[in-house]
Structures are given as structure tokens and as C-alpha cells.
Structure 1
Amino acid sequence: MTDNQPTQPESDAHADQLVLTGERTVPGIDAENYWFRRHEVAYEYILDRCAGLDVLEAGSGEGYGASMLATRAKSVTCVDYDEQAVAHTRHRYPELIVHQGNLIDLPLADGSVDVVVNFQVIEHLWDQSAFVAECHRVLRPGGVLLMSTPNRITFSPGRDTPLNPFHTRELNAAEMTELLTVVPTCTGFQVQQMLGVFHGATLKALDEKWGGSIIDAQIERALAGTPWPDELTADVAAVTTADFDISPSDVADIDASLDLFAVAVRR
């Protein structure tokens, strides 16, 4: 799943690529590359934390993130609701265990994993508290929930309803903390760390180049259905994970972050 806005048609997609719907991001598309790298950086950040552990990715989408984690983890199990995504992941990433299922009724036993990864998914769910309770159930004592989501303050500024039509409820840092710690059906989680994803120096320069925001430059053209200038396509295609910074809330202004990233320990 993803939090990107509509992009150009996937004319440069690989033949075996999952269809780009606007609800999830996929690798290998120049016009999608900014959003893909913005998602991918979170997986890079947790590779060491997942080493040697049993990991569940709840809401695995295309499967590229779970495949990255599988290079370090003891095991990686995926659960996604979308049947097409599940079939694609099984075909493209045979090293993964993939289940089709509802995220508020995870097909895993109690206390069966050490880590639950949930990146750019919670904002799509109608019953967010029930999902958090399910994460608590399948984690072993002391297990970790790693969750990212677009920061409501910067993603849908000044709005009560999300800009992205695929989102049900977006969160700010305080709301995300409350969601994780106040769970009616279980003892909840202790939020060990709240981090934010920010533009690094290269992306800040591109923001200036494209009228204040390279994000807006992409979205405006996509919504208008106008062709991208070759230079914009080239700038977006050149973005890497190194162009993003992940900083904790005691170092950076978490309310100014693009995405929120919580590290929560099962109580």
C-alpha cells in the first residue's frame, strides 16, 4: 500500500509488475520513484533491528519491503488483503511466506513473531484500534511494532478529511502515540521512539527548484493530466533513499516531518 497521489501511466513498467493503482507504490517506474524511495528508506532503516528475528509485514503490498527484510531476518511472513498483490508477491518473491487475509484478523498464532512491520498502511484501515490489538496479540512479549504513516499535518494540511481518496484517517504524532498506547482490548504498547522522515539536502534543493515543493510539482501535473517536463521526470527518477533523513522527535520538529515512524514495544 502507499500514500502517493496519482502519477503518470506505467508505460515504463516491467512486464511482471503489479498494476499501479495509486493505493500502493511499486518499484521500477520513473514517475513513481520519489514515493517508492520515500517508502524504501524506512525498510533500510530497520534492517539491523530485524536481523535474526521472525518478522511479520502486515500490509505488504507489492512485497519489495518484505523481500529486503528477508535478507536479514530469520523469517518473513506477509499478510495483505488484496488478492492481486498476494499473487504477485508469491510469484516475484518466492522466499516469502504470503497470506491473503484481513489485517484485523491476522492468520497467525498468538505470540508467534518478534517484529511487526506496518509501513504506510494504518491510514488505510477503518478499524485502526482493532489492528493494533492484533499486532499486540501476534507479538511475543517484548516484541516490537514498527509503524510508519504520513504525517497528517503536512500531508493533508488544514483538512479534517484526507486528501488521498484511499485514506480513512490520517494521524499526527500525538494521535499516533495515543492509538498505540490506549488499546481497549489489551495492555497496548510503549512508544519507545517517535521519528520523522524529512527531505535531506538534495531534496530541499529540488523543492526550491520546483517552486517550493517537488511533491506539489508532481501532484499538480498528475491531477491536471499534463505531461511532465523531461527535467522533472529526470529529477524524480534520480531520487535515492540517501536523499531522505530519518530523525527522532528530540532532534527535529516531528510536526514538520513528511512521515511519522513509531517504534513501539509490546507491554
Structure 2
Amino acid sequence: MECTGERYLPEFDGDWTLEHLHRYLLACELAADKIVLDIACGDGYGSAMLAKHAVDVTGVDIDSPTVERARSKYKANNLRFLQGSATAIPMDDSSVDLVVSFETIEHLTEQESMLCEINRVLRSNGMLLISSPDKYEYSDVPGYQNPFHPKELYREEFDALLQRHFAYHSLLGQRVIFGSVIASPEQRPFLSWEKEAGLGRTEGLPHAVYHVAVASDAPLPQLPSSLFSAPLEHSSGMRQLKASLQGAQINLQSCQQELASAKEQLSALLNSRSWKLTDPLRRLAAQIRKWRS
């Protein structure tokens, strides 16, 4: 499968590895003893992760070749992959305990229809775990436009959309960060301090690039704050820096080779018979220039 940026593929590491895997790790915490639907499952790696915890997992994707690839790549007795869309889910009414939908809703303009379909397949006490990029942090701030996202949502829009379809919902923030997190296991706010903002204190995660929401018509379980860490060397910035350094080293080696070649040519010229024979003439010309000055 070609890595176009539309779908995450485990073979292509980078910052998005943390983003995608962290969300599925959170989903696995909720999947125990549940029947799970992973809508727009893509490669299928997340569905396979969920199958290690859930009773049954169905991965659904709109692209038939992608579904066939997932079927051949990930196999388990409690895992299956079906072709279908987020607005026409190929599952029965009230048949699912947990629906997982990561980075899907911004790919659709029929967002209301998608949530109606999810509500249809969810049981009365079922739960939706959904994520979508925040339009302000993801697009507006960096001046970026993702060609695969026809309808990104601001935080307020995402919040209002969930409120229209579920009796309860809660928003969490997500961003990639290489650093240290200290969090209390007790029921207290998650606090953040930013060095560049004069150690300003914030409740919650500031500048969240993605919103991860849990929604249900039943009261929600308590969700922990969490961290999924990786070595700094695995970050996209470090990879780009290494590539630039390698390019600079190649250019330096090329310059060194050209300099060595020039020195060899100069040495050959200085030691040549013709150069030695014309040396008296060069000395005379230099003396004449000295007299004239």
C-alpha cells in the first residue's frame, strides 16, 4: 500500500506513530470483554491490537483492496474485516459495545449521518471512542491544508456535534510531545506548565492538535491520563535532521574530493618539465613588474 498520508501504515514510522498507536492503546483499555467495531480501520493494525483484548472485533473500511490486505496481514479467531462505509456500516442494529473511529470523521461531509449510523449499531449502553484533528491547531496555526480532509472541525464544532447525538460525552486532548509527564492517579485535573510561556499553569493539555472523545447514552467510565513515549531519535524532526546531516556530509566529501583532485593537478603542473623550463621567464617577468612599480 502506498503511503500517501491519507492512511497511517506501521511500516512508515514518525510522529504519527505515537498519535495513532496511543489512541489504540487507550481503546484497548476500554475493549475488554466487549464486541468492538473499528470503523475505517485502514491497514487493520489497530483492529488486531483490539482483538487481543476484546471478545470480538470487526474492522470496516470503504476500500476493498485495503480490506483484502488487512485480512491477509492480520488473523485471529475473534477478528474479521468487512468492506463498508462509515455512513452505511455493514452490521446489525444494537450489535456493538464499543465503536472506535480514529481520524475518520474529517474525511466526510456527511458527519451527522456517520454518527447516526454509529448510534444505530451501538447498544443502549455502548460507547464511541472517536478522534479528529482540531482545525485551529492542525490547519490554521501552521497554515496547512490536508487534501484528504474536506470538513475539519474546530473544538466547539466537534463538541456540539457529539452533544447532538449522545447524552454524555467528554473531550480529551492529544499531541505528540517528547518529554516528561507526572500525573496523579487520583481524580484531580491534569496540570501543564509551559516553559516558553513563563511557566504558565494550565488545567488540561494546552495546544491539543487532536481531540479524542468518549461518548455514550450511558454514564461514562473514568479514563486515565496517559503517556506513550518513544526515543527522541524516532521523531520526524530528528529524522529530517539526520537526513540533512547526511546530505551535508556527502557534499563535504564531494568538496574534499574536488579539492584533493585540484591539489593533485597543481602538484603535477608544478613538477612538470614545461613548468620547470619556463621558470626563468616567470622570474624575469616578475622582476620587470617590480622595476615598473
Scaled by the length of structure 1, what TM-score is found?
0.69
Structure 2: distance between partners of 1:198 and 1:102: 28
Shift of 1:45: 1.4
Q: Which has the higher contact order (CA 8 A, sep 6+)?
A: 1
Structure 1: distance between partners of 2:7 and 2:20: 10
Q: Which of these residues, 160, 173, 176, is aligned with residue 178 of structure 1? A: 160
Q: Which of these residues, 166, 171, 177, is aligned with residue 200 of structure 1? A: 177
Cα pair distance change 1:20/1:199, threshold 3 Å: closer
Count of residues paired in the alignment: 199
- Report SS of the residue matched to 2:170: strand
* Residues 58-116 of structure 1: CA deviation (Å, up to 9, x unaligned): 11011111111110001000110011210111110122211111211111000000000
Residue type of the alignment partner of 2:44? G
Aligned pair 1:93/2:44, yes or no? no
Q: Which of these residues, 96, 117, 132, is aligned with residue 113 of structure 1? A: 96
Residue type of the alignment partner of 1:123? E
1:263 match: 214
Scaled by the length of structure 2, what TM-score is found?
0.63
Identity over the aligned pairs, expressed in percent?
Answer: 35
- Contiguous gaps of at least 5 residues in structure 2: 182-189, 193-201, 219-293
CA contact (8 A) 1:139 1:266 kept: no
- Report SS of the residue matched to 2:203: coil
| Superposed CA RMSD | 2.4
CA contact (8 A) 2:134 2:211 kept: yes
Structure 1: distance between partners of 2:191 and 2:88: 32
1:70 match: 51
Q: Superposed, which structure 2 residues align to 1:1-267 within 5 Å?
A: 18-29=1-12, 32-95=13-76, 96-157=79-140, 163-182=145-164, 188-202=165-179, 251-253=203-205, 256-266=207-217
- The structure richer in helix per residue is 2
> Which of these two proteins has the greater Rg computed from alpha carbons?
2
- Contiguous gaps of at least 5 residues in structure 1: 1-17, 183-187, 205-246
Residue type of the alignment partner of 1:132? L
CA contact (8 A) 2:99 2:118 kept: yes
Residue type of the alignment partner of 2:170? Q
CA contact (8 A) 2:155 2:211 kept: yes
Shift of 1:141: 0.2
Structure 1's consecutive aligned runs of 4 or more residues displaced over 6 angstroms after TM superposition are 247-250
Residue type of the alignment partner of 2:171? M
